[in-house]
Chain A
Amino acid sequence: METLFELKNIFLYSNDFPILNNISLSIPAACSTVITGHSGCGKSTLLKVLAGIMLPDAGEVFYLNSNLHTMSEKQTHEFKKINGFAFQDSALWANKNIFENLSLPLHFHFPELSKQEILSKVQKVLTFVNLMDSMYLRPAELSIGERKLVSMMRAVICDPTIVFMDDPTTTIDQEMRKKILTLMKNLKHNRASLVMVTNDPEIIASMCDYLVLLKQGMLIAAGPFEEIKKSQNEEVRAILSSVFENANTFDQDILDLLNQ
């Protein structure tokens, strides 16, 4: 498998407390990578480091063999153009309405698009999540779940080939959750690389190709999901069993894990 991202000895501190502690790993291209672990283990921070949103205090991040932090402005622009990021707390721009939130990435990356083309792209994604009536509302006028959906749509509106998702299915209802899963499957079908942070057993079971397990800022395991779920390592099994204990659908390996 081609390596999409490679992290080398990543350290990131907050007030001298290590959030990420010596993380080195490779993320494969064109597959679904799930980063999981207990709350506060540094999953979201790791995702932001991979996306080039946060700078580590030490270490290097490589995207297709190019160092993410020493790329030229043009290379960075190209990298951002082909990736989208859906935030855990939506992070919509509060002083812009939903249309502006969705159209800004298009304006920025595709200045050649006409107003009509941008409008139709925005309408298309809003129709997908049943939010057409909210196009000219401000984020504060939407529910938390709706904001989450808009954030997801903002991440995919430029048809990215890499999509980062931070807890994509929390705070949304079952119907919308199905839509998000469909969207993820479509992205995967189109050979997009998905890198997501989640503890959702259904998403992990149905989407995960490559699993990264973190504990207190340290890497416990990283590898193909099929291999990791058969791992006999106690820490790995402890994390996985806590993630899957509320799952409704299991395969044999997960059942074995839970029956221990």
Chain B
Amino acid sequence: MAMLDRSEWYDLARSTNWSPRYVGESELFPEALADPYRLPEAAWAAYDEPYKVAYREYVQVQREKDAGVYSVKAALGRSKFYDQAGPEWMGILKLHYGAIPLTEYAACALQGQNARFGRAGSMRNMATFGMLDEMRHSQLQLYFPHELLSRDRQFDWAHEAHHTKNWLIIGGRHCFDDVMMTRDAVTNSIMTSLIFETAFTNLQMVGLAADAENVGDFTFANLITSVQSDEARHAQLGMPLVDMMTRHGKKAEAQRAVDISFWRLWRVFAVLTGIPMDYYIPLEKRHMSFKEFMHEWVIKQFDRQLTDLSLERPWYWQHFLDDIEVHHHIQQGGVWSYRPTMWWNPVAGVGPEERAWLDQKYPGWNASFGHYWDTIIDSLLAGREDLTQQKVFPPICNVCQIPIANRPGPPWKARAHQLDFEGRRYHFCTPVCQWIFECEPERYKRHESLVDMLVFGRFNPPTPDTVLKYMGIGVVSEGGRDSNGYQWIETYRGRHGHGPKGHVSPLADCALTPKGNKRLWVLSRFQGDGHVKTVEIDLDFSMDEFARYCAQFSIGHHAKDQPGKTLRVRRTTAKDDAAPFPREMRFGACEPRQMDSFDVYFADLSDRDREP
């Protein structure tokens, strides 16, 4: 029997709207869940998704895809790839599996919301397929790491990570709760389907798939390519909505949804994908730098999309271009430096050849990030591994939930952007995250970052160990350690400007301890350090003692001493132009408030400052 062509019955099949008789429209589709923009019914009636699929076709195609993925896995199951894969590649897999599968599972709820509250039958139809897609993605990406668990307990994070309070997981969850789980059906379709699933999933799924093929992990490459093949269908949910909003006087609202979600997703995915691409993939296997990939796969296509939708580039475009040069590099430093907080074994990836490559791809890398790693290398060569373990935490951005950091070394760009709001002080990595907060403070103001919790006295005792346990470290599995046991520093011994025994400044060690109850949490912005640091200071310290006390958390860790100069303290200002406090002044005398930010910096010795 001849079957009708899909186009002959598709419109009828997706027309599932009806006129409610027992409830009103506003009860059937509450604004907060469905459409707060009140787009007219005629607009909803014209909603059309360009890529079409019927349930019968869907099942057939998905069945073929699954058969492909599982048969490749079975065929390669007896290969020795995972026996021979280096710790770098295993780190990438652990990072991916910890971050992704249960986020996909959460996306089922997003698609479920749209399958119920989308006001067009066709939108609900697409979202139903989307829900099934996300179910498939979470099942596949939980099943594949499960077989790796017997080799390495850290793969347990695939199942567990999303249920922990690990800082990076909180960063991802906070972002997806924002763009995916707590918006109406129109906004979440723009933020998640349009922005995330058209632009950013390419990073993890296309970019990483190419690298996986180069490395020889065909099981993983095939898996994530198969996952990505589902995206385009449900990713199209958002596009018609932007068009509808633009036509019906809601262009500014659509633009804002685009701007917020693009930035939030950028901040997370630069860490998830940027670090592996530029540091973990062995140099000879890299097919593109993260920056090149961003331009090729995200910016070019995003730009074309914006033009097609008559939208503008986000207002923060220059901040974004600057961030591409810096963000994942300093977070790579942070992830390695705070490796006990991670669920995989971080890779340094900064041998001399890697650094030459980084400096070529990111001009200026050596002149800034090079200082950061040279400090670490000198400490390791000197046998001071302890200095590469951190005793204090950086403040965490109250929007993106990522540690506040910026370019280290002589450029010294790290600073916290602060806002006092309803009696609480908030900290931001950039003016963009601050803008997002100020757009909707009600949405964000109650959340406490791990460092807020530390400062508010939620951890008892307030030590790194308490925080680690809270984050699930040592509970789900052991935390991270250097991926190759510091072997990589041997390349530097006696070469590349490092002596045979490294070097550690006396400033790295400090006998001072805060005494008594007169203590205050403040931010130490130490010259050359890429991380701002949260330290508890004794109000009775002199400014010199303050400087010496802060120095021990930066010198030998992430910043170099400047012999012949002296440390001074001043308040942090936008132009770095505050006058230094007198050296003998009592810290409490400057009337500091909790979490005020202070610069500790090197100044020339004046005659008056010279030691007698």
Q: Do A and B interact?
A: no
